[in-house]
Structures are given as structure tokens and as C-alpha cells.
Chain A
């Protein structure tokens, strides 16, 4: 069991800044129609940080919320019962907006599949995009990210851990074999 640090705090900040710029470029002049939705737990923190960066680049573009996907998972009966986390949809709703889903690690794609189902129950966005801090591969569904902080080719027996100040008291991404 050796943990190797693959992203330092400065790398994480740089990745989020780049993702934020790419998000703004992709929506062109309709930045005010953006809704950034983080997937609990760490996706929410990342979404808030991205929204803050968006706000500093283009004021009025950083509407942020959270989207819990627990109740939409396809593995509920294979794991111990997990309590859901709060979902907070911004006051303006998501109808006609461009929703950017934010998660820390993209792996099998099943969480995002659940998130797409959850979004559909909250409204009908104009488009849904996906931003992740780390894409580690091994997709089990036809899902890909639009904005990626870092691509990390991994093997299935490796573990990726994302730690953030707000949730873990320190800031790093490690890979453990």
C-alpha cells in the first residue's frame, strides 16, 4: 500500500481555473444561463469553487447547487443502506439552462447515469455537461466528461483518493496501489 500524490494543492486550483475558463468558452454569451451542480460529497465543494471562479471572471455566471443521486443509484441493493445528502437546486430552477455536473472522480460512469436520471426529475435543461477533477478511465457506460482536470490512466486495483480542505482538512489527489 503506497500512496503517491498526483495532484498538489496548486495543481487542483490550476485545474479548476482551466475548467472554469473552458466552461465559459463553451457557453459563449449565455453565461448567465449556467447552473453548476455538484454531486455530494466532494463534487459539491468543487462546484462551489468553480462557481466562485466563474463569478470572478464573469459576474452573474456562478449559480451553484447540489444534486444528490443516492436514490437513483443502480447498486442500492448491493451495498449497505446509505443516507441521502441534500439536493439544492438554485431558485431559478434548471429549465432551459445549461447544467454543468461536477464530480471529483469519473470512473464507471454509473454515478453520472444516476445524476442524469435525477436531473430529469427536476426539470428539462437545455444541455447537460460534465466536469470532473480526475478521469481515471474504466467506463462501464457510454459516458464521457466535457471538462477534465486531469486524465489519470489507472489499473482496476488502484485507488484514487481526492481530499479537499473543506471536507478532509487537506488538499491532494493520491493514487494507492
Chain B
């Protein structure tokens, strides 16, 4: 307040400020680009929605700020003598925000709710056939076959209070076509470290620390109140941080990093994200619809793919397009994922002469023309990366027409197999290679390969991928994973570009490492003394 029109206002403001500093010593004002879509923890499978849900609801086990699995509502878990049964021991003495006790009935109810037809989370639990209460604090999850990686699929499956949910008629996750409203969309009763105080969609969500949280002493829990505001416009978001109106923002645009970091009261924390950006090629069709080569598919020729892989100057993309905020890579697997090795991540050798020779050998000395589909509002500088790549492919005679569209129009092209050459980014929530294989490598069919826009189909690889789902011998499993990666790398069906880097901007007194899934869990946040 520089101008104080009247004494009364000045006094009122002074009083308000005094009140704030004592009562809300640690209010965190947090902004990110997109609001949570719904408070119903099973109605949307989407990053910002999970981020908000994680503050108030809890899964049986969760990922910490380093991405490691830690106990949450379950204290321990293990496969029983029957390899198809996982047994979870639940934490005792946990209370929901409304005071109700948490026990096995709630787990059975919640797991069944996530498996309901309307649930957005059901695909992560397709291997589960039943969930059984053993006693009040023990629950068995029964899977179709042995599933050694079940815990990794539970990190975003939140636990709700059975009585509360049923009493409010929200047994089922929201159904869009019924015209039905759902109580759980606007109300929260979780076990998490924060309670919902108020929420106006796209405007402001206020959370207050849960005084009865079971993990009071286990985690720092230094924040007393969170005020969450989505700010869509990147410029405004940064301005709000610079002017001190917010304390913490996710997604600092790369062009503003220096400005934020150069401000005395602010800092930027960076870390690689669990997401890799790459191009996919239609290698399976007889002929391409979006090229100028008749009767042939140039991408079906391994030499062309190898040449393209060699032509991409990843270091230049990192330096010029990404302003160093990326990690160039030679594989479509983020470094956090089981199966990742440094050797696999090594960059393909950039060699223009070699690439041109391969093109000539494949009979495309004169090159060809093809359309590249690219999103323009999904990944960091997505369209600019594509533009850079267009120039690089031109050097080996491939004339690329760039078609950049908003994500809502881009992704259906991949899902409906209408593109021959596209950009895609992939994050791996289970932190395991199998997830990548299931969606990107397996032949596109009803239940697998939904994001495999390459039309690549290798029955041998497919059967190896299916075998991973029930392989209990972890050493043998790792061997199969390595074998599949070897095939994919030698076939070059994808052209990897880089791993994205996350940048969180925050006030100087906040100590908060970047979480690889872009999931800030605020109970871990501490303030510098």
C-alpha cells in the first residue's frame, strides 16, 4: 500500500497483515498452468488433477519427491505364496478428514471404484480380478496371472471413505452422458496432509493443513495453508512470481528461466522429467498417404530410418530450441525407468555423409516429400523442435511439410492411424519398460498398442511383451526387457530427441526438489531458516 486514502483503510490493512503473519505463518501460494479437472480422484487420469488430489487423498503407496515408492496408507506389501495374490498391510489409526476411521472396507470399496466402467483409472488395474478383505487391516489383491509390478500401478489409486462416498451417492465415478452430477466432484474426504477449505474452478483452491494427519511427524509438514491458483498465460504466471504474488510455480517457460533465476528473491530448481520426446514413423504400411513416393513406403526401409536418425542434430536442438533445458537421447525411455542403461541412452552418431550414403543406398538419392504432424501446445517448444528437424531432414533430401496443430487435433491423428510421421512425448508412470512396450511397441490391437502409430508389428516382440506381465523371475524379466529394447533400437521405428527438463520457480526460502513426474507433494516442502 503506497497510497493510503484514509486512516481507516490503513488501519484495516495493518490489522489484516498483522493477523496474517501470526496465524498463517506458512501460507504457500502456488500457481501452475492448468487447474485440476475434478476433485473426484477416479474420474480423470491427468497430471494436475492427480497433483491436487495427492495433497488431500492418499494411495496405498506413493512416490516420494525422488520418484521412489514409499508406504502411504499401506505399511507393507508382498506377494503371498500364491503368486497371483498381493497382500497389503494397512496403516492403523488413520482417520479421514471427517473423523471416520480408515480400514480394509474402504480399500476394497476404493479399489472397486477405480475398476468401475466409468473410472478413468481402470486401465492401470486391468490385471486385478478381485480385491478381498482379510481382516480390518489386511487386504488381498488378486491378479489374473502373477503381476510382479502391481505396486507401481497403485501410486495414483486414491482411497476414499466408503460410508461417506455411499452416503452421498457417489459410489460410481462421474459419468458424463447421464447428465448426473456427482458429489465427489466438489467435495473431498481423504486421509491426506491437507483438507479442502474452498474451491472455485479455474480461480482459487484453498487447502488447510490436516491437524490429525497420521504422518505429522514423519514428513516435514511445514505448510499451514496452500492457496492454489491456475494461471494459464505463461507471461502472467512468471509476472506473478516476480511480483511476489505467488511463491511457487510449476512450468517456468525456458525463455524466462534466466530472469527468474537472476531475481534475488527467487530461484529455479531443475531436474529431468519422466518424459521423452520423439518422432514416430509409419513403418508398417505398404504405401504412405502423406508422401510423394508412389507404391512404396520409404519409412519401411531401415536405411532411410537410420539415415533420419543420424540426420537429427540433437545437440543443436538442445542448445538453440531448448536453451539447454533438455537431455538429448538415443532412446524413447526416460532415465528413471527400469531397463534404462547409459549405453541405450547414447546418442546416435551424427554423420551427414553417412546419412546421405544410406539414403542413396536405399534408392532415395533424390529424396522425397512427406508430412510431419506436430502438436503446438503440448510439449515444451514442440513446434519449434519440429521446425528445427525439418531443416535437418532437408539436408539429406527429405522435404518435410510441417503440420502443427493443437493437441486436441494432433493426438487423434495418432490414435486413428492417420499420420505417417508424428511427434509424441511419453511419460512412464509405472517407471517400468513394460509400460512403454504395451502402448508404443506392441501391435496396435484392442487392449494393447493404443499409441503405437508406427504400424510396427512383430509377433515375436509381441509375445515377449505379453510374457513380461506375468514373469515373476525378475532376472529373467530384465533379460526379456533388454532383448526387446535391442530389437527396437536396431529397427529404429522411433527417432528419439530428448528427455524434457522440469523447471520449478520458487521463493528463495523454499527448499523443494523437483519431482520427476511434475508432482509436488507439499508435505515434503521445507522452509530455510
- Do A and B belong to a common assembly? no
Q: Which residues of B contact A (CB under 8 A)?
A: none
